[in-house]
């Protein structure tokens, strides 16, 4: 599908340098954004008449927040280079941990290693940005691996410096993956990869992560911005 035929809308574009690293959809439909801007987390209502990010957490001494995942109703675990602590916003609690995912041996083989991660249907899926791989490994209910790592697909565009970043699944098991520096790829359950949006004219500037809407009609894409400026944005991308 060409970029010209994909319907998109820029929900918000930061005017100040703000590297958005990750995004998650809250139960009320709002978006939570983790950033490299002094450890700030923002809430953004994509359906507001004039969407404006609201700072909901800022942790002193933090240089960056990375992954975010819901662990209970409207309660989230966040990874970053910070001390353990907790912080409340609205009626929910955000727990912040200085803890990284496992697979440290694999991650140590490249400059970045294991990046995006999701658990689905008994498998732990992850991207390896350094090796341009999308992989999975079977895990038990405690998160321990019970099999070998399997390569789902390899990014053949890697020679053009387009590594995989973060991703999300739709209800049919398709993985939607952000790819530097302006693309999103769809990978079906069989591992077949197709370009969904990207290339010349793409509205995505440094996409780092995305979240699939509950009804499978949209992708909410977090972008870091152009190299060196890092004025991040959140873009709504309609699915066919």
Contact yes or no for 64/45 (Cβ under 8 A): no
Structural domain including 232 reads 3-238
Cis peptide before 230 (omega within 30 of 0): no
Q: What is the average per-residue pLDDT within 187-197?
A: 95
Q: What is the CATH number of the domain that holds 234?
A: 2.120.10.30
Percentage of the chain exceeding pLDDT 70? 82
36-91 tens-digit pLDDT: 988 899 999 999 999 999 999 887 677 788 889 999 999 998 887 743 333 333 33
Question: For 133-150, what is each residue's pLDDT tens digit?
Answer: 999 999 999 889 999 999
User: What is the helix (H) or strand (E) element at residue 106, kind and residue range?
Assistant: helix 104-107
- Specify the pLDDT at position 58: 82
Give the pLDDT score at 22: 96
Distance CA 103, CA 100 (A): 9
Angle at 41 (CA atoms; ends 164, 171), nearest 5 degrees: 50
The rounded mean pLDDT for the chain is: 84
Task: Please give the pLDDT value at position 50.
Answer: 97
Q: What is the separation of C-alpha 139 from the centre of its chain, rounded to a whole number of angstroms? A: 21
d(Cα 135, Cα 149) in Å, to the nearest integer? Answer: 7
Tell whether the model's pLDDT for residue 121 goes beyond 50: yes
Report percent pLDDT > 90 for the chain.
62
- As given in the structure block, the two tokens for residue 189 are 């359950």
- Both tokens of 72, joined, read 């209970």
- How many domains would you assign to the chain? 1
Higher pLDDT, 239 or 39: 239
Residues with Cβ within 8 Å of residue 94, at least 6 apart in sequence: 41, 56, 57, 75, 76, 78, 86, 87, 88
Backbone angles phi, psi at 229, to 5 degrees: -95, -40
CA separation for the pair 69, 167 (Å, rounded): 13
88-118 pLDDT, tens digit per residue, is 333 333 333 333 333 333 333 344 567 889 9
The stretch 122-131 carries a mean pLDDT of 91
pLDDT at 106: 33
How buried is 154 (Cβ within 10 angstroms: 0-12 exposed, 13-18 middle, 19+ buried)? middle
């Amino acid at each position: 599908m060409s970029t010209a035929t994909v319907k998109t809308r820029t929900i918000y574009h930061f005017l100040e340098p703000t590297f958005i690293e990750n995004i998650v959809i809250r139960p009320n439909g709002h978006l939570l954004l983790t950033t490299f801007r002094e450890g700030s987390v923002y809430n953004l209502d994509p359906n507001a008449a004039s969407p404006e990010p609201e700072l909901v957490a800022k942790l002193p001494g933090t240089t960056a927040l990375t992954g975010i995942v819901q662990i209970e109703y409207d309660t989230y675990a966040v990874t970053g280079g910070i001390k353990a602590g907790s912080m409340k916003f609205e009626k929910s609690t955000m727990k912040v941990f200085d803890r990284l995912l496992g697979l440290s041996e694999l991650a140590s083989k490249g400059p970045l290693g294991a990046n995006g991660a999701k658990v689905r249907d008994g498998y732990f899926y992850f991207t390896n940005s350094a090796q341009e791989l999308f992989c999975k490994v079977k895990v038990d209910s405690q998160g321990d691996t019970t099999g070998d790592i399997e390569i789902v697909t390899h990014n053949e565009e890697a020679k053009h410096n387009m590594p995989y970043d973060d991703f999300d699944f739709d209800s049919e098991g398709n993985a939607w993956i952000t790819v530097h520096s302006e693309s999103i790829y769809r990978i079906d359950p069989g591992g077949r990869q197709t370009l969904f949006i990207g290339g010349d004219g793409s509205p995505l500037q440094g996409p780092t992560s995305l979240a699939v809407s509950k009804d499978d009609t949209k992708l909410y894409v977090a972008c870091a911005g152009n190299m060196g400026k890092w004025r991040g944005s959140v873009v709504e991308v309609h699915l066919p």
